[in-house]
Structures are given as C-alpha cells and as structure tokens.
Structure 1
C-alpha cells in the first residue's frame, strides 16, 4: 500500500518560512465541523478558518493564501481555496473570510467549482491533510483573474514566492 502523498511544496524550490497561526486550526489536529463542507453528505459550516501571519520578509508586496488536500484520491490532489493579490497590509483573515463575496484579493475557482473556500470532505478512511499556506510574494499583483485555474495560479505564486508559512490540520471520519 502506498504511503501518504507528498506535501505540495516538497518538490518546489526551497524558500524561507515565517509564522502563521490560527485561532481555529492546529497543525496535525482534527478540523472542527466549522471547516467541513456542507454538501455531499457532509453537514459542516464550510467556513475558512482564522489565519494570521507575521515575520514575513520586508520586501513582501502581497500575499496568496491556499488550501490544498494532497491526500485526495484524484492523482492531482484537491484545491480547497486559492486566494491571491492580498495587499501587504492584510496580515490576517477572520473566520469565514473565504466566502464568495470576499472584497479583497482575488479568489480563483477551487476544485468544487466555486470562487470561495470549500471545506473538508474526504471519503471514509484515513484522515486527509489540509495544507493552509500563506505565500509572501514579491509583486503587488500576479496579473491573473478569478477565472485562472489553481495550477496556473500556483505556477505564478511559486515564481514570485519570497517565503511561505504552512499549517496543516487534518480531517477524517
């Protein structure tokens, strides 16, 4: 039986880290029902968690925030959230910031097909990891729009990443 899928950043160029914290999620701990999908047989609240970050490089010009499940049985993982072009003045997001009507930054369509955060919804079995990453970028804007695929956003984020902070809670049922 194969092991866990690699984390999404293990094969990308190494970059410095900075601090990301949350009032809602903890590294390696089970997500609460607040951050679980509300469809496909799940009855979660589908809210993005609170995230705050600090000690990022002084040359940072914007941020991107992503959530990726490398354990999804798709062969390519599953993008739960793709938010970019966050102004450098924003250093935290409250619970529920990933709603479709977010008025800062740009949200690309996730793998649920919506331009918003989509909560955990793994099939029965081993818990999945939900990799929340904050990327400190060297540009104010990636020059992309909300119709851009997560893979293309990821390509551009990687090209402009100065540093990255990650917190990876889990969810299983």
Structure 2
C-alpha cells in the first residue's frame, strides 16, 4: 500500500497553506491532498490519522519570547486529524476538500468523503481553558507549532486499510479510540510525513 501527496514531498516542509498557523496568526488551514493505492483484497474501509510526535510537554515554555523550548525537552503526540469509515472505493482526498480555513471553537460539521466520520483533534484540549477558543475541534486542523521551539515538527499522515466497513467508535471519538477500535482489523498501512516550523532560526 502506498500513500502520496501532491501538496508536499515526503519528509519535506509543508507549505503554510496547509497549516493552521503562520507567522502572522491563523493560516489558510487547508487539508493537503492525499492519495493511496495498492490496498489489499478484502479492504472494506480506510482510517486516516495525522499526528505530530514533537509537541512540547512543558506548557510553561511554549510561546515565550524570553526563552526557547529546548530541542531535548521530552515530547508528546498531538492529533491533527482522525477520520474513520472512509469507504473502500475512496482512494484520494483533494486539497481543501475537508478543511479550508480555521474555525474558532472548531468545525461543527467538517466536510469529508460520504459515509466517513470525523473525530476530534487535539486543539480541543489545547483550547479547553480559553473561553474565546474552547470547543470541539472536529476534522483537520493543521500545524501551528510554537515559534520558540528549537525542534522542527513532523506531521505523520497514516492511512489504514481495514477489513470492516465501520469501526465501533463513541461520539465524538479521538485518534486513540480509532487505534483501539481497529486493533485486529488492519490489513495494511501506508504513511508519509511533512515538516513545519515557525521558528525563524530553523525556517
């Protein structure tokens, strides 16, 4: 199984068009184009995740002009996209077809392939304590790493071919729910990643 994108090259920087934030604030936040092929026989649906494994774990260091987030600070995962029940006959997602702009308080009904379900991304938790931003952030919301981070962030897009048409998921669901529900149902997986930074010293 193969996963490709015309929006960025594997392992290379993602254009700001596909990010939630840039140096001026919110960015266009369009989802990148993705296409997958060579799914195995018996595939009944696909699941899609986008996760950044380079997120700082010490919140007090984030977004400060008087210090940087050290490169060697322990890092955690941040989900930018979780989608399940993508029909087996869908093998591509066009750029901007699932997200085109940043919605304060989150998208209430993000677009996507017919029949697919969009889960929560981790901006839900990130903005939970901010009354101006808090909400359920469903679907794709792209990169917005701290401008003072010494590490370039990586964004891993993973597509899973599954032997079931629908996953047993709560409403709303998270990437962790998808990973649990598809255990034992994965026929194949394909992945690629892009990078993104707002640190001018690393750009």
TM-score tier by shorter-chain length is 0.7 to 0.9
Provide the residue aligned with 1:93 in structure 2: 93
Distance in structure 2 (CA, Å) of the matches to 1:44 and 1:122: 12
Q: CA RMSD in A?
A: 1.9
**TM-superposed deviation, 1:80:** 0.1
Give unpaired runs (5+ residues) of structure 1: 1-17
Provide the residue aligned with 2:122 in structure 1: 111
**TM-superposed deviation, 1:172:** 1.1
So what's the TM-score if we normalise by structure 2? 0.71
Q: Which has the larger radius of gyration?
A: 2
Q: 1:76 to 1:154 in 2, by over 3 A?
A: farther
Structure 1 counterpart of 2:156, from 131, 155, 158: 131
Distance in structure 2 (CA, Å) of the matches to 1:149 and 1:139: 18
Q: 1:50 to 1:146 in 2, by over 3 A?
A: farther
Alpha-carbon contact 1:81-1:116 (below 8 Å) kept: yes
So what's the TM-score if we normalise by structure 1? 0.83
SS in 1 for 2:51: strand
SS in 2 for 1:63: strand
* Residues matched between the structures, number: 156
Structure 1 counterpart of 2:37, from 43, 54, 58: 54
Distance in structure 2 (CA, Å) of the matches to 1:144 and 1:79: 17
Counting only pairs closer than 5 Å after superposition, residues 10-159 of structure 1 correspond to structure 2 as 18-38=1-21, 42-74=25-57, 76-99=76-99, 100-102=110-112, 104=114, 105-113=116-124, 114-123=137-146, 124-159=149-184
SS in 2 for 1:70: strand
After superposition, what is the alpha-carbon deviation per residue over 1:58-117, rounded to whole angstroms, capped at 9, x for unaligned?
111100111000111145410000011000000000012333133520001110121110
Give unpaired runs (5+ residues) of structure 2: 58-74, 100-109, 125-136, 199-203
